[in-house]
Chain A
Amino acid sequence: MKFQIPIGPQHPALKEPIGLRITVEGEIIRDADLRLGYNHRGLEKLAEQKTWIQNIYLAERICGICSHSHTTCYVQGVEKLMELEPPKRGLYIRTLVAELERVHSHLLWLGVAGHEAGFDSFFMYTWRDREIVMDILETITGNRVHYGINTIGGVRRDLDEMQVKHILDSLEILRKRSEYYRNLGTTEPSFVARLAGVGYLSPEDAVALCAVGPTLRASGIARDVRKDDPYAVYEEVPFEVCTADTCDVLGRAVVRIKELFQSYNIIEYLLKNLPAGPIAVRAPRRAKPNEVVSRYEAPRGENIHYIKSNGTDKPERLKVRAPTLANYAATIKMLKNGFIADVPLIFAAIDPCICCAERAVSVVDARSGEEKIIPMNTLKQLSQKISYGKEKKRVAEWPL
């Protein structure tokens, strides 16, 4: 006997609107299906109406947690189109903010994982310490969440001695606290028992389903854009790619805690080796007709922006492939043959950022259940073909 359970779009276990349709046999999940589009805003189309500089502001608002990831990815691409070379100090500051963002995102995730596992004091602890990172970000960029520090050709704000000292002092506190979380997360019996073995994803599946970021690395595959295709100043910075081989939610937690320590080391290195000089170069208003793909390792995984220019001061096309979208296929795999009670935990383990991922429009034929993705102009033709010559119906047919 199979049942279908709809979860979402507004559901206690989910922080953002997304629909999950789960087919269960008793307690066991046999099949899962995702319903997207609740958060779709039409951002890519909007980007075509704005200038290169205005689009930085827009790219930042693709997502609030990885806002710096999207702007950096976008700005890197545009710099390639405009053939600009940002100064070293600018790149150092850009990388510094990127790593601080990774720290805040991973602390946030640890808290959410603790919350989903029923360990609410862990949630409160990590979010308390996350405020330290938010304070750092606020002092160096002027805002807590949308930093607005990137500009085409460099960054907008410089660091001074006081800020460097403030960051280094705060890092000491964060290191100490993270050490505590590492011990707690890996030795606390009830926490480990809740996470271990949940949401298994084998290394073969992880590669086949194109998982990215900590989800992939927790399956024992050391892939990281920062190492494989270094951007900004990652070539000069010593760090390791963290992996775990347990292939479950515990592994994903361990990878993220390990990455916290790597990020602290990177931040310290960047601050101690900060070169002097200008922070930005002047950017032209137009870019030559060309196209570029820009990659960036966001806290959740690989972020890809495809940008096409046509010689004007606006992009012809901006395509965003956010890491969460790449992880959806793997999530379905992880959910299968698990328990209903594990759904929030498994789903939270990919660190879903739904607002990032809401790009494609898919059309579902509710009568046959057939689902396909149709390009916009085909959709237009289709609607014209259907409505042509017919009188307009006022009342919709049920079920639609």
Chain B
Amino acid sequence: MLNKLVHWSRLKSPWILHLNTGACNACDIEVVAALTPRFDVERFGILLKATPRHADVIICTGPATRQMKDRLIRIYEQTPDPKFVIAVGACAMSGCVYRGAYNVIGGIDQVIPVDVYVPGCPVRPDAVIDGVVKLLNKLKG
């Protein structure tokens, strides 16, 4: 019974943490744009939280830089279980144009496990919403 309730509330209001790991800001403003009136993800109960300790879903943008690597792992560990990671943008998936740069490790999945990949350079806000909905469907099933 309690488990059912927890499961239901997790599906109905996933709280997200937006984390920039070295992105060029393009994906970041598109993620924020997804929260504003035109796209408005808050109608699905999705709320942007400021700290990883409150979040269920980490939305990562940008390639993992060497400087951010340890911080990224730390933030991932601070997030309470169960936690999910969405890699937003081509950089977070593979490194995109920065692939081969000396300070870039590659995609986010080189550092932490990723559940959903959202492609695009930058992604459209609609694609961010689609990614979150796909994650929720995955949780349901």
Contact = CB atoms under 8 A, between A and B. Distances in A.
B97 interface: yes
A124 B32 CA distance: 11
B21 A42 contact: no
Contact of A146 (B19, B75, B122): B122
A32 interface: no
Nearest to B37: A128
B122 A64 contact: yes
B120 to A, nearest CB: 10
A177 interface: no
Contacts of A21: none
Contacts of A10: 19, 52, 71, 75
Contacts of A12: 50-51
Interface string B13-39: 000001111111111111011001110
Contacts of A130: 33, 36
Contacts of B21: 17
A246 B67 CA distance: 38
Nearest to A11: B50
Contact of B26 (A42, A128, A145): A145
Interface stretch (B1-9, B101-109, B129-137): B101-109
Interface stretch (A54-62, A164-172, A306-314, A328-336): A54-62
Contacts of B68: 9, 17, 38-39
A243 interface: no
Interface string A5-35: 0000111100111000000000000000000
User: Of residues A17, A67, A127, which shows the largest number of chain B Cβ atoms within 10 Å of its Cβ?
Assistant: A17
Contacts of A144: 30, 122, 124
A63 interface: yes
Contacts of A67: 24, 26
A385 B50 CA distance: 45
Contact of A43 (B18, B27, B50, B101): B101
B94 interface: no
Contacts of B97: 46, 57-58, 61
Contacts of B33: 127, 130-131, 134
A323 to B, nearest CB: 14
Interface size class of A (residues with CB under 8 A): 35 or more
Given A10-B71, A124-B37, A128-B36, A64 B26 contact: yes
Given A16-B20, A127-B33, A128-B36, A353 B25 contact: yes
Contact of B25 (A16, A43, A128): A16
A45 B36 contact: no
Contacts of B38: 127-128, 131
Interface in B32-77: 32-33, 36-38, 50-52, 62-63, 65, 67-68, 71, 75
Nearest to A47: B101
A145 B103 contact: no
A40 interface: yes
Select the residue from B22, B24, B63 with max chain A CB neighbours within 10 A: B24
Contacts of B100: 46, 49
B64 to A, nearest CB: 10
Nearest to B17: A10
Contacts of B25: 16, 63-65, 353-356
A64 B22 contact: no
B101 A41 contact: yes
Contact of B29 (A11, A57, A65): A65
A108 interface: yes
Given A39-B22, A46-B100, A355-B23, A127 B28 contact: no
A17 B72 CA distance: 11
A40 B103 contact: yes
A65 B33 CA distance: 13
Contact of B23 (A37, A64, A127): A64
Contacts of B28: 15-16, 64
7 contacts: A16-B25, A41-B104, A42-B101, A61-B96, A130-B33, A131-B36, A144-B124
Interface of A: 9-12, 15-17, 37-43, 45-46, 49, 57-58, 61-65, 67, 108, 111, 123-124, 127-128, 130-131, 134, 144-146, 353-356
Q: Across chains A and B, which 4 residue pairs bring their CB atoms closest together, nearest first?
A: A64-B26, A12-B50, A127-B36, A64-B25
